[in-house]
A and B are shown apart, each in its own frame.
Chain A
Amino acid sequence: MTSPARPMVQAQQVCKDFGALSVLKGVTLSVDRGQVLVLVGPSGSGKSTFLRCINHLEAVSAGRLYVDGDLVGYRESHGKLYEMPARDAARQRRDVGMVFQHFNLFPHRTALENITEAPVQVKRTKKFLATKRARDLLEQVGLSEKADAYPAQLSGGQQQRVAIARALAMEPKLMLFDEPTSALDPELVGEVLGVMKKLAAEGMTMIVVTHEMGFAREVADELVFLDGGVVVESGPPRQVLGSPRHSRTREFLSKVM
């Protein structure tokens, strides 16, 4: 059923309510294989919520969300939706890597153990294979010598690079980045963005929520400006950043650039 033309992520009129508060009010967008999509917008615009819907950390209230052609979190049969058993939802999430603003590394495990945990426990990979792969990943993110350090002994930038390696260890087909550099000291932002750029160059499909406009301009294939739970403007980053069509985009950009 795999066709190269099928988008990796397809969102159709995605809505998300928290009780009376509606955060997403019909987001429609698609991300092709190998593409990097950067989501920007003021705080509270629903960027993070949208990201969390993609791997079903939040359940969508209305609309449809597909990852690699599969409906996220539900099974559709004869026009009716069935809630997915937890086991199946977990299986879907394996293929989607996520990197958090506050890293969320496991503090009781070393950098290496953080990376091997999910492959060994979830995918039942042999321990020595997982360890070998973890060492390769640590080298990729430039932290070979920190394999045995605990997260508390690493700087924020180093922790976030370990977190990226941890997500990559599951060999995801899609990576989600939720403000990966927002909690970092300014001089540490570059090292994390560097790893992400390399990843994009290698052809990883990525959705990145960030305030780093330089990164967006350089790496993104498409830039989406989200405000009030809807897509206000989207297009190639040069166009959106250079000559925004919408007044709300202009207003936002004037504040962050």
Chain B
Amino acid sequence: MNEEQAPPAPPAAIDAVSLRHPWRWAGAVVLIGLVGLFLYGAATNPAYGWATYRKYLFDQRVSEAAWNTLQLTFWAMLLGLVLGVIIAVMRLSPNPILSTVSWLYLWIFRGTPVYVQLVFWGLFPTIYQKIQVGVPFGPTFFQLNLRELSISFILAIVGLGLNEAAYMAEIIRAGVSSVPEGQLEASTALGMSWWMTMRRVVLPQAMRVIIPPTGNELISMLKTTSLVTAVPYTLELYTRTRDISAVIFEPIPLLLVAATWYLAITSVLMVGQYYLERYFSRGVSRRLTTKQLEALAEAQTGAKEGHL
């Protein structure tokens, strides 16, 4: 090293008085006061029927109904997701037949209310009494008699899932469109096929845009399951608690029971969404993770020591 002036002493770290926010504190106090008043009122108001609430919150019929609701949500969402990806990919594909079919699907399933669709699926066994596999006007190889099966659970899933697919397809299409064109060009230039580009390059990047609204859809699906009474399927959370309340003439506590279960399930789903979002946002930020920062700091001090 050449002769250099001794470096000046490093400046002291800043120790400033942080900004005060008195109005935030005032607002918080007022709000807590109001909430306290409401809670006091609710606890002392007999109309809420808290004893009944406690009695039925973990009633076996209710927890079974919650489980049915979860199953409906899961299968309908899975159907919606898979079908949604297929419809979105069809819509974007260069093949005009596929894109027209997908457009027709969206037109029908987004254009009619889900309740109407569910009633329709409930009537499906009346319209199509048998499913036959065979040659039209010729011999039959296989036959399924729909009227003899109790398939309202399946029909509820199909009804919810097909409707959901239309919305998921639009969400996925928006996500795919958000990926810059350069990504497609780079993949094409590397000799990747259209489908491979979708699968390996475009869809993983689109996930970041797709996941937040999909989380919304999932939560919305959980609540939409309360409509399947239209099929009619009656063993899910809302219809079950309503049926119980009709017998004991106490609608309010059982509504609160249903609301509590919905809220609990939604909260769990939100935690899952947080972790999914974190996973698919990798590579987006320039900000380094704690681990990477530590490695860099180590390299820095290591280099300094090497110089000395």
Cβ contact within 8 Å between B283 and A151 = yes
Cβ contact within 8 Å between A55 and B196 = no
A226 to B188 Cα, complex, angstroms: 26
Cβ contact within 8 Å between B283 and A108 = yes
A116 to chain B, nearest CB (A): 11
Name the one of B192, B194, B280 contacting A118, with C-beta atoms under 8 angstroms: B192
Question: Which residues of chain A have C-beta atoms less than 8 A from B180's C-beta?
Answer: 104
Main secondary structure of the interface of B (DSSP, over half): helix
Cβ contact within 8 Å between A106 and B286 = no
Given the interface pairs A118-B190, A153-B288, the reply to whether A100 lies near B183 with Cβ below 8 Å is no
Cβ contact within 8 Å between A57 and B189 = yes
Give how many B residues have a beta carbon under 8 Å from the other chain's beta carbons.
25
A97 to chain B, nearest CB (A): 8
A140 to B298 Cα, complex, angstroms: 26
Cβ contact within 8 Å between A55 and B189 = yes
A52 to B171 Cα, complex, angstroms: 32
B232 interfacial by beta-carbon distance below 8 Å: no
Interface set, chain B 268-308, CB cutoff 8 A to A: 280, 282-286, 288, 292
The stretch from B68-76, B156-164, B199-207 touching chain A is B199-207
Question: Which residues of chain A have C-beta atoms less than 8 A from B190's C-beta?
Answer: 93-94, 117-118, 122, 166-167, 170
Cβ contact within 8 Å between B194 and A170 = no
The stretch from A84-92, A210-218, A229-237 touching chain B is A84-92
Question: Which residues of chain A have C-beta atoms less than 8 A from B189's C-beta?
Answer: 55, 57, 93, 96-98, 167
Given the interface pairs A152-B283, A153-B288, the reply to whether A100 lies near B196 with Cβ below 8 Å is no
Name the one of A87, A96, A97, A106 contacting B201, with C-beta atoms under 8 angstroms: A106
A122 to B280 Cα, complex, angstroms: 24
Name the one of B192, B282, B284, B288 contacting A122, with C-beta atoms under 8 angstroms: B192
Cβ contact within 8 Å between B191 and A94 = yes
Given the interface pairs A87-B193, A121-B200, A150-B283, the reply to whether A104 lies near B186 with Cβ below 8 Å is yes
A203 interfacial by beta-carbon distance below 8 Å: no
Name the one of A86, A90, A96, A100 contacting B185, with C-beta atoms under 8 angstroms: A100
Cβ contact within 8 Å between A106 and B191 = no
Question: Which residues of chain A have C-beta atoms less than 8 A from B188's C-beta?
Answer: 57, 90, 93
| Best-buried of B189, B280, B285 by chain A (most CB within 10 Å) | B189
A32 to chain B, nearest CB (A): 23
A109 interfacial by beta-carbon distance below 8 Å: yes
Cβ contact within 8 Å between B283 and A121 = no
B111 interfacial by beta-carbon distance below 8 Å: no
Question: Which residues of chain B have C-beta atoms less than 8 A from A57's C-beta?
Answer: 185, 188-189
A63 interfacial by beta-carbon distance below 8 Å: no
A33 interfacial by beta-carbon distance below 8 Å: no
Given the interface pairs A109-B283, A150-B282, A153-B286, the reply to whether A86 lies near B186 with Cβ below 8 Å is no
B-to-A contact residues, CB < 8 Å: 180, 182-183, 185-186, 188-194, 196, 200-201, 204-205, 280, 282-286, 288, 292
List 19 additional A-B contacts (Cβ < 8 Å) besides A55-B189, A57-B185: A93-B188, A93-B190, A98-B189, A100-B182, A104-B180, A104-B186, A105-B186, A106-B186, A106-B205, A107-B205, A107-B284, A108-B205, A108-B280, A109-B283, A118-B190, A118-B191, A150-B283, A152-B283, A170-B191
